[in-house]
Amino acid sequence: MADRRYETLVLFHPEQGEPGAKDLATRIRSLIEDQGGTVSQVLEWGMRDLAYPIGKERRAIYVLFEYRIGVRGLRETERNITLMDPVLRFISVQQAENAPPATLRQQRPPEAEVAESAESEEAPADFEAVEGEGA
């Protein structure tokens, strides 16, 4: 069966720290290569906030893998990732053959900084409150 192009995003427990995440990324990379895959790139996005808590954790270390592998190899790699305790979540997505490689995403500024910058730029109100109207 022909190899397909995949992208897997793995979220590691924040207690692993950066050195622990690098070790786990190396382990996952060797898993992919042991299954006959070829890793084109590994992007370490670092510690980021989660959209919602996972197991009482609000932050995680993100690592993105781009590689080529067969379907059986992907299943075995995903099975092994599932068995790793420090992995909070992961997702694998098949990529189009002509899709551009992933780039490092810029992290959004914390909400406090966004609120401060919004307050400093006073914009005119679009409407006025009128007494007596509303519930």
pTM of the model: 0.73
Cα–Cα distance measured from residue 41 to residue 65, given in angstroms and rounded to the nearest whole number: 6
Q: In 3D, which of 89, 71, 88 has the Cα closest to residue 6?
A: 71
Cα–Cα distance measured from residue 89 to residue 63, given in angstroms and rounded to the nearest whole number: 11
Cα–Cα distance measured from residue 41 to residue 19, given in angstroms and rounded to the nearest whole number: 18
Cα–Cα distance measured from residue 9 to residue 104, given in angstroms and rounded to the nearest whole number: 13
Structure tokens at 134: 């509303």
CA 57 to chain centre: 15
Q: Which domains does the chain have, with CATH numbers?
A: 4-97+106-120 (3.30.70.60)
Is the separation of the CB atoms in 63 and 90 below 8 Å?
A: no
pLDDT 10s digit of each residue in the chain, 135 long? 578 999 999 999 999 999 999 999 999 999 999 999 999 999 999 999 999 999 999 999 999 999 999 999 999 999 999 999 999 999 999 998 887 777 766 656 656 555 555 555 555 555 455 555 554
